[in-house]
Amino acid sequence: MKSRRKLPTKKKSKSGRVVIDPSRPLVFGSHDEAMAHFDGEISFLADELENAMQKLKVDSRVGIPERDELTYVLAHPTEIWEDSDTLTGYTLSVFISKLESGDDETPRFVVVLAYAVKRRPTFVFLQFATSDERLAAHYRRGLRVYYRSDELEETENLFGDALSEGDEFATALYAAMVTLRSPTDINEDEFGEYVQLREEVLDEPDEIWRDNDTMGNVLVTFVREFTDLQIQAEKEGTKLVGQVETDNEATVAKSKEPIYYLIVTIEESLSDTHYVLFSFPTNDVHLVDRYRHGENLQLEEFVREESH
C-alpha cells in the first residue's frame, strides 16, 4: 500500500519553541537557533566522517538518504547504538539500517547520528547513505541498545500493512503505541507470532471503535480477546470449539489469561473502505482501553481492502 497520509510538517510547541530535550533543557526559539547551538557537534561529526572515508579508502559514493528512507530508518532501525564518548556533554545515538537497493544487489546502509530521548530521535546531527559496510561499521560503537534480527524483518513482511511499508502516519501512531506499552507486555520481537490472528479479528471482532483524530482522519480499531489456548490452536491451524477439557490445572489457568489483538485502520470515507495501518497483540487491558474511544460500531458491517 502506498502512503495513505503524509504527516504535516513537524510542529513546534504551542509557544513556537523547538523542543529537543526539555529535561536538559534543550529548548530553542527556532530551528536556526537549534542548529547554531549544535554547530560545533555537527562540524565535528562531519569532519570525522570525512576522515573515516579517507582512512577506509571508501571509493563508493556517500550520499544523503531520501526522505522516505530517513523516515523508515528512524522508525525501523536495524541497530541503535548509544555512544557517550564521542561528543562532550551529549550521548550520541546512532541509527543504522541495511536497505534493499532495488535491481542492484549491492546493499545500501543508512546511518543517522542523532540526539535522542528514550531512543526517540529529536535532532539529527548527520545522516548519510553508503554501500560500503565498513563505513557503517565504523559507527557501531558504544553500547548497542537495540538490534532487529533478520528473522523479525522476514516476519514483518508478512504483515502487509502501512507500517511495514514505511508509511509516516502509521509509523507515528505505532511509535505512540509503543511508548504506552507496559514493561511486562508482549515483546515487540514476538509480534510476528500473533500475525495469524489478524484475519479472525477483522472477520469476527469483539469490538469496533471509530474515532476522528485532530487531523481529520477517521481511525477504526478492531479489537478481539483471545486466550492462550485459542492462540495456540490458531498457530496449529485448528479451532477451539466449546469447552476445552484437560486434567492440567496449570493449562486451564493459563488459558484464562486474556490476550488482546488490535488492528488500527484508516477509513476512506468515499468508499467506506478500511486500510490496515498496523496491528499488535497486548496483555495490558489499560492499553486496550486507550483505543476504546469514539463511537462503538461493533454491529456495523465493514468493507476492507488489504494493503498491496
pLDDT at 153 > cutoff 60: no
pLDDT at 224 > cutoff 90: yes
Residue 3 lies in a domain: no
The arithmetic mean of pLDDT across residues 253-260, rounded, is 64
Same domain, 54 and 109: yes
Looking at 116, 148, 180, the residue that finishes a domain is: 148
Looking at 115, 148, 181, the residue that finishes a domain is: 148
Cβ neighbours of residue 168 under 8 Å, at least 6 residues apart?
3, 5, 6, 7, 71
pLDDT of residue 223: 95
Residue in the structure block whose three cell numbers are 492499553: 287
State pTM to two decimals: 0.50
Instruction: Look up the domain containing 187 and give its range.
Output: 156-305
Q: What is the DSSP letter of 189?
A: G
Is the N-terminal amide bond of 25 cis, ω within 30° of 0? yes
Phi-psi region of 149 (alpha: psi -120 to 50; beta: other; left: phi over 0): beta
Same domain, 140 and 162: no
pLDDT of residue 304: 44
Looking at 128, 148, 168, the residue that finishes a domain is: 148
pLDDT band at residue 204 using 50, 70 and 90 as cut-offs: confident
Q: How far apart are CA 222 and CA 281, in angstroms?
A: 12
pLDDT band at residue 22 using 50, 70 and 90 as cut-offs: confident
Q: How far apart are CA 171 and CA 161, in angstroms?
A: 11
Residue 26 lies in a domain: no
Same domain, 261 and 285: yes
* Mean of pLDDT over the chain: 78
pLDDT of residue 50: 93
pLDDT at 5 > cutoff 50: no
* Alpha helices (H) along the chain: 31-37, 39-56, 67-75, 133-137, 150-156, 168-180, 198-203, 228-235, 249-255, 285-290
Q: How many domains does the chain have?
A: 2
Same domain, 269 and 181: yes
Same domain, 290 and 205: yes
pLDDT at 254 > cutoff 50: no
pLDDT band at residue 231 using 50, 70 and 90 as cut-offs: low
Cβ atoms of 275 and 268 within 8 Å: the answer is yes
Residue 91 lies in a domain: yes
Number of Cβ within a 10 Å radius of residue 119: 15
